[in-house]
Structure 1
Amino acid sequence: MTNLQGDRKNAIFGVYDGHGGVNASEFAAKNLDKNVLEELVGCNNKSLDESDVADAVKRGYLTTDAAFLKGENVKGGSCCVTAMFRDGNLVVANAGDCRAVMSVGGVAEALSSDHRPSRDDERTRIETTGGYVDTFRGVWRIQGSLAVSRGIGDADLKKWVIAEPETKSLRIDEEHEFLILASDGLWDKVSNQEAVDIARPFCVGDEEKSLLSACKKLVDLSASRGSSDDISVMLIPLRQFI
């Protein structure tokens, strides 16, 4: 969603990666951004700082999760990563293992951290609430089942697979070139820096270039390395939001 409230510096983007079916990812794609915007409107248009926007984004995730779980078909879940632009500020949020990576003068900087049971803090959180984490064929899983520890949906594991995202806020400046939002189908086979190196020629400079071609190049590279997972990639040039 771009040009929010008639302001080109206000926009929200997201990538949603479903597991156990498409229901949760389709629901999140249709509703999460709207729920975030409703939370912002609910702040009565007061002067919002970065923490206010980040809190609204978090509430938008939790509202989306609650609404999905109240529906008729609550099978499966979805990992999410979103980028909220407002008045020159950026708030990145993620729940699961979709990831946001920024090019800062050509250097890759991850703006999110994957939520997997192998993370010490995530494993501790799960175990202290009565769950368990183990490995199956080299993959850490919750209750011997799910390989991500946060997301929308996952009703049967909701006690441990929480929807609360982690957020990172920053002010966009001239060094911030572009943002990559992608599912783990990319990141399992392509490193952060490699992705930035491949995408950068398509994203910097005054000449108009095809961002879609850059996305396809990243998808094809991951697939050529054996990824059989869903691979979703979005590129967002950042100059327009400064």
Structure 2
Amino acid sequence: MIAGFLCVFDGHGGAKAAEFAANHLDRHIMDQSRKRCANEIVEAVRDGYLTTDAEFLKEGVEGGTCCVTALIQEGNLVVSNAGDCRAVMSRGGIAEALTSDHRPCREDEKQRIETLGGYVDSHHNVWRVQGPETKVLKIEHDCEFVILASDGLWDKVNNQEAADMVRPLCTGIEKTKTIFCLQKLVDLAVKRGSTDDISVMIVQLGNFLS
């Protein structure tokens, strides 16, 4: 049973692909998960991503989107990404990147993706990574929160800085004030010169301990 599904999108070449994915990706992943056993969640997420991508291509619209998703199921955290949106978890105050940034226009990244069985192409002048990267972790007591964000944040704020900024408000007596954490992260990235889209989401994992 899925307890939560959260995602951040970063549209490239316009907002249409991001809007399409935001409206359809969760449904496709849920549909795939219902067809499979609980231990096949990685395959369900992959097929949900690919189905959404295939449907968007039928629209004949230019553009693409990066995304990072966090699915919570039976005490597990399932994190997936395509592109350079990133998920970072605070585990006892130590920042841990749960995803790797996919920048397929770089030759070394293109080779890495292809070695893992994926492929990269360019459609309407937008690079496309076929297939997400997925990691499954059991939510333990030291798993405090996960930050999901677009590269507009991560290009200017490193993983540990972000975790350090969020942790006092997510783990202390004022842990309900998540909105302040989000604003502080955005403000820091802007102050350091970020001009890219900045989308940030925080998931407090203590709410999902099994």
* TM-score, length-scaled by structure 1: 0.79
User: Alpha carbon RMSD of aligned pairs, Å?
Assistant: 2.1
**3-state SS of the aligned residue for 1:10?**
strand
Count of equivalent residues: 204
5+ residue gaps, structure 1, are 132-148
Q: Is 1:59 matched up with 2:47?
A: yes
Alignment of 1:75-224 (within 5 A): 75-117=62-104, 118=106, 120-123=108-111, 155-156=123-124, 161-224=128-191
Q: Is the 8 A contact 1:17 1:80 kept in 2?
A: yes
Q: Which amino acid in the other structure matches residue 101 of structure 1?
A: V
Structure 1 residue 122, shift from structure 2 partner: 1.9
Structure 1 residue 124, shift from structure 2 partner: 6.1
Deviates more, 1:111-120 or 1:193-202: 111-120
Bigger helix fraction: 2
Q: Which amino acid in the other structure matches residue 115 of structure 1?
A: H
Deviations 1:12-40, CA, capped at 9 Å, x for gaps: 10000001100000001111111100001
- From the superposition, tell whether residues 124 and 202 of structure 1 become closer, same or farther in structure 2 (CA, over 3 Å): closer
Residue equivalent to 1:139? none
Q: Which amino acid in the other structure matches residue 182 of structure 1?
A: A
Q: Which amino acid in the other structure matches residue 43 of structure 2?
A: D
Distance 1:109 1:69 in 2: 34
Q: Is the 8 A contact 1:92 1:168 kept in 2?
A: yes
Deviations 1:58-115, CA, capped at 9 Å, x for gaps: 100000000000014x211000100010000111000000000000000000000000
Bigger strand fraction: 2
5+ residue gaps, structure 2, are none
Q: Which amino acid in the other structure matches residue 90 of structure 2?
A: S
Deviations 1:197-236, CA, capped at 9 Å, x for gaps: 0000110034443101100100010001000000000001
Q: Give 1 or 2 for the bigger CA radius of gyration.
A: 1
Distance 1:181 1:58 in 2: 18
Q: Is the 8 A contact 2:64 2:128 kept in 1?
A: no
**3-state SS of the aligned residue for 1:14?**
strand
Residue equivalent to 1:136? none
Same amino acid, percent of matched pairs: 52
Q: Is the 8 A contact 2:102 2:109 kept in 1?
A: no
Q: Is 1:22 matched up with 2:27?
A: no
**3-state SS of the aligned residue for 2:22?**
helix
Distance 2:185 2:24 in 1: 27
Q: Is the 8 A contact 1:69 1:155 kept in 2?
A: no
Distance 1:215 1:124 in 2: 32
Distance 2:78 2:176 in 1: 26
- From the superposition, tell whether residues 200 and 119 of structure 1 become closer, same or farther in structure 2 (CA, over 3 Å): farther
